Amino acid sequence: MDKVLIEVEDLKKHYHTSKGTLKAVDGVSLVIRKGETFGLVGESGCGKSTLIRTILRLLYPTSGKIIFEGRNIAHLHEKDLKDLRKRMGIVFQDPHSSLNPRMTIFDILARPLKIHKIVKNRDDMVLRIVEILKLMGLQAEHMIRFPHELSGGQKQRVAIARALMVEPEILFLDEPTSALDVSVQAKILKLLDKVKKQRNLTYFYISHDINLIRVVSDRIAVMYLGKIVELGEKDLVFQKPLHPYTNGLFRSVPIPDPDVKIEKIPLEGEVPSPVNPPSGCRFHPRCEFAKSVCKGKEPKLMKVEDGRMVACHLYQ
Amino acid sequence: MGTLLEIRDLKVSFDTEEGKVEALDGVNLKVKEGEFHALIGETGCGKTVTGLTILGLLDNNAKIENGQVIYKGIDLLKLTEKQLQQQIRGKEITMIFQDPSTSLDPIFTIEEQMLEALENELELTKEEKLKIITEELRKVKLPDVEELLKKYPHQLSGGMKQRVMIAMMLSCRPSLLIADEPTTALDVSTQAQFLKILEDLKRETKITAIYITHNLAVVSEICDTVSVMYAGRIVETASLKEIFLNPQHPYTYKLLHSVLGIETDIEQLQEIPGSVPKLINPPSGCRFHPRCEEAKDICKTKIPKLQEISDGHFVACHKRVMEWTKC
Amino acid sequence: MTSEDLSYEQLKKEIKRLKRKRSSQVNLVWKRFTKNRLALIGFIMVSIVIFMAIFSPIVSPYDPYKTNPLERFKPPSMKHILGTDALGRDVFSRLVYGSRIALEIGALIVLFEGMIGISLGLISGYFGGVVDKVIMWLVDVLRSFPIVVLALAIAGILGQGVINVVIALGTVGWTSYARMVRSKVLTIKELDYIEAARSIGESNLSIILRYVFPNVLPTVIVMVYLMMPTALIASATLSFLGLGVQPPTADWGSIIAEGRMYLLKAPWISTSAGFFIMFTVLGFNFIGDGLRDALDPTSRRN
């Protein structure tokens, strides 16, 4: 459990736009341990999608280190990435757009096997595909279908199967259930949980759904405007969120209980643009505890107690 | 509290290339004055179609086969397009949609669009209209109203657009608001702000609302009554507390227990076997029977009626109704 | 069905069903297409022209090249449905043979410009950056010339003849394909399945061929039908101006040119040739519009 799988160090991904530099990911450091489920939560535009795509090297990082199994992959050349593609997988949010509409399910699942030359012959390939379909709770006959003939939940199962085809070490899950109905969501989450235990995988979930992250994760991180503001063991963070943003965010979540209502508006205002973000602590204009130091100096992500880190001047 | 809107045995079908889709099959719904009535269900259960039917906004390939929509004593389905446009839409009943950016016209400023919404108010001068508009925008807690009026929709964030929509709709002082997944496109913090605004409105203006959503947590924040839809029918209607604490229909029960937040452990999440049926060829009898663990023979043949089993608690399930009549 | 009880034979059966399924998708498009009355009329019109082209010797009552000084400038009659020309040749027979040349040249032009345009459009849209800028600059430059004038210049340099007509028109025509394909690629490129393809290690070439191109294909098919008329008219124009197909070859453009001199004396020569061109062009346009609606039902409204 304590073996480090991925170590990200001061990772940055900046874009040049006509309005200025957009700092989508701006100095993120974190560690993913082998076998854990890591949950990253944040609102739209906080950079969580960009972060995992950069770790996966679907995007080229501006600076920083990504150490995967002892090797820095941050600046590997495009053509040296093929081996990496076999070891990390990703499942996208919207299964309707993540499957090529002109390929059958068989073709979709056969591609990873062909690219990485994993199987010897066609019979082997068919067997592998039938096996994974079965693991996903689909039937062999689904392989002859096109994506549009399947329901949303079935499509997402195919997308998961595609990512698992090459037997990766880690699966990145980008809001894997947010496009699905509640009852389907429950099924997909249970399926992912089962597969993780069976294959001893590591999961990296990202989501804006705090309840989801709470249910699936071992450790969580909260992201705001390109930076991680809090990170730690799930139970600790949920019991007592330290960063004012985390606290406000958690209190914004409606609780499905008729007796519990959201008290006064927990977070006023809106997330500022990541182009020219506020100085110092990026949360200071919305923070009720902001002091003068918060405007001038950027707080570092520091360990405050065992198993948790926070980036806030209140604790430093 | 009197009944503001009543839907009786509404049947709506769609002609598609694959065949006839029975989108609504005998929907019965009573919305009381001043309440927030939630219409919940999964994709394709007919909740949006219900909302659109009330306002006569269905597509051309839709056909209303049967039923009445009684609003303040008038059957809305009998009105002509012109009557609906002049007397009902905007004035009496308004609807807000999931994606605020598609409801606002990108080439007009907020001020122009809000004035447009008031164009039927002939007795008001422009100054009076502007006064109403600023007032409404302040009510939804939008900052810098004067500046905001000169802006175009793309200059606003999603949450602000949704608030502008609310303000626009309020300026016409409707009696009934139909909100179709209004917070689904918003972030949690903006959603919380939006829900607060709705709550204030509810308290101050006594407006009635039909709140269409799949999100049970949001429902528990602001709704009073909940109707659960499944495959084109209403399977259960009860007060918010009853639905959460004493769900009767097996579908309602399962749905509640697949919500994250009610269940906090993956192991405890309930699964509903099978998937939502296609409405081209829906299951006979109770449409939930193929997925129901308690289904009996009668469920396969006979359509269960929505029956009151305790004060204000209606359920359409053979088994539950039988149990209730026994005791 | 599970992997244990699924024999190889059964799988083969499944694959067969898959093929039937594929054809049922074609059926759906065909059903939508035939529901559209104009498209069906277009289909019949083009079929007639194709039939004439294939069976020219059977359809035409006379030899299109046989001159007959005794039968000059005969107006349409039972003997010569569309009359005769200055050399006494049967106009209808010449027009029937002309459909061969017209379709041949049309098909060659579309093939030529399509291949260049689609490849460059794919490359330009997918890679973007400098490559995109250069290709689109070329497109803009070529398009800023009036098409026929440019083709005229090229035909003037290369000389007369069928192949030169194809090259001349194709040099300009590919720009339409490139633009259309590029804009389609730009939208497809943003879809998750392209990123998903990269995440499993697909190469750029494989992504273009397996993921991008198949999704551009419906647009291209429609494009081909809509570009065919342009090609037909342009090639007829070149022939009319004496730079394309040379007399005495029976070509619609040159028939109009020949008839032009006798427009008052024998108006049937040019007008019937004009009608044949219009008929074919209209047919292809109807098919193109119908196909667009059938392949992409979302764009059907309005």
- In chain C, residues 18-37 whose CB comes closer than 8 Å to chain B: 28, 31-32
CB contacts of C28 in chain B (<8 Å) are 17
CA–CA min distance A203, chain C (Å): 16
> Which chain C residue has its CA at the smallest distance from B59's CA?
C301
Distance (Å) from the alpha carbon of B144 to chain A's nearest alpha carbon: 13
Question: What is the reported pLDDT for A129?
Answer: 92
| Structural tokens at position A62 | 């501006």
**Domain C30-61+80-299 CATH superfamily:** MetI-like (1.10.3720.10)
Q: For chain B, first and last CA: distance in Å?
A: 30
- pLDDT tens per residue, range B298-308: 999 999 999 99
CB A24 within 8 A of CB A226: yes
Residues B73-111 as b/e (b if ≥16 CB within 10 A, e otherwise) read eeebbebeeeebeeebbbebbbbbbbebeebbeeeebbb
Nearest to B170 by CA among B91, B57, B104, B106: B91
Contact A100 C211 (CB under 8 A): yes
User: Taking CB atoms and an 8 Å cutoff, what residues of chain C touch A89?
Assistant: 199-200
Check CB contact of C58 with chain B, cutoff 8 Å.
no
For residue A138, name the pLDDT band (cuts at 50, 70, 90): very high
Q: Which of B183-197, C209-223, C249-263 has the highest mean pLDDT?
A: C209-223
Find chain A residues with C-beta within 8 A of C12's C-beta. Answer: none
Which subunits sit against B, judged by 3+ Cβ pairs under 8 A? A, C
**Interface contact A186-B43, CB threshold 8 A:** no
- C37-83 pLDDT, tens per residue? 899 999 999 999 999 999 999 988 888 888 888 888 888 888 888 88
B231 touches chain A (CB under 8 A): no
| Nearest Cα residue to B42 out of A180, A149, A177, A96 | A180
Task: Give CA–CA dist A297/A292, Å, rounded.
Answer: 9
Q: Does A168 touch chain C (CB under 8 A)?
A: no
In this prediction, residues A202-220 reach a mean pLDDT of 94
CA distance C269 to C261: 10
Tens of pLDDT, residues B229-274: 999 999 999 999 999 999 999 999 999 988 887 777 888 888 888 8
Indicate the domain borders of chain A.
Answer: 4-315
Q: Which of residues 194-213 of A touch B (CB under 8 A)?
A: 208-212
| Residue of higher predicted confidence among A179 and A311 | A311
Is residue A302 less than 8 Å (CB to CB) from chain C?
no
Asked if CATH classification 3.10.50.40 holds for the domain at B3-92+175-265, the reply, yes or no, is no
* Mean of per-residue pLDDT scores for chain B: 89
Pairs across A and B, CB distance < 8 A: 121
Rounded to 10 degrees, what is the CA torsion of B69, B70, B71, B76?
A: 50
pLDDT band at C28 (very low <50, low <70, confident <90, very high): confident
d(CA C67, CA C86): 9
Assign B278 a pLDDT band (cuts: 50, 70, 90).
Answer: confident
Neighbours of A, requiring at least 3 CB pairs below 8 Å, are: B, C
* Angle, CA A288 vertex, CA A285 and CA A292 arms, to 5°: 60
What's the mean pLDDT in A209-229?
A: 94
Give pLDDT, residue B39.
96
pLDDT at C133 over 50: yes
Q: Which residues contact A286 (CB under 8 A, 6 or more apart)?
A: A245, A248, A267, A268, A269
Q: Where are chain C's structural domains?
A: 30-61+80-299
* DSSP per position, B108-167: S-HHHHHHHHTTT-TTS-HHHHHHHHHHHHHHTT-S-HHHHHT--GGGS-HHHHHHHHHH
pLDDT-based confidence at residue C1 (cuts at 50, 70, 90):
very low
Residue A252 in contact with partner chain B when CB distance is under 8 A:
yes
| pLDDT value of residue C301 | 38
Q: Name chain B contacts of A286, Cβ cutoff 8 Å.
A: none
Cα–Cα distances (Å) from A174 to A207, B188, C162, in that order, read 7, 17, 57
Peptide bond into C64 cis (omega under 30): no
Mean pLDDT of the region C167-177? 88
pLDDT at A192 over 60: yes
SS3 B236: strand
How much of chain C exceeds pLDDT 90, in percent?
44
Which of C8, C196, C217 is nearest residue A123 as measured by Cβ atoms? C8
CATH level 2 (architecture), domain A4-315: 3-Layer(aba) Sandwich (3.40)
Closest by alpha carbon to A180, among B220, C188, B44?
Answer: B44
Helix ranges, B172-295 (H) = 188-205, 216-222, 240-245, 250-256
Least confident of A192-201, B154-163, C3-12, C76-85: C3-12
pLDDT(C21) > 70: no
Name A175's Cβ contacts closer than 8 Å, sequence gap at least 6: A93, A206, A207, A208, A209
pLDDT of residue C8: 62
- Give per-residue pLDDT as tens, B36-55: 999 999 888 999 999 999 99
| Average pLDDT across chain C, whole number | 86
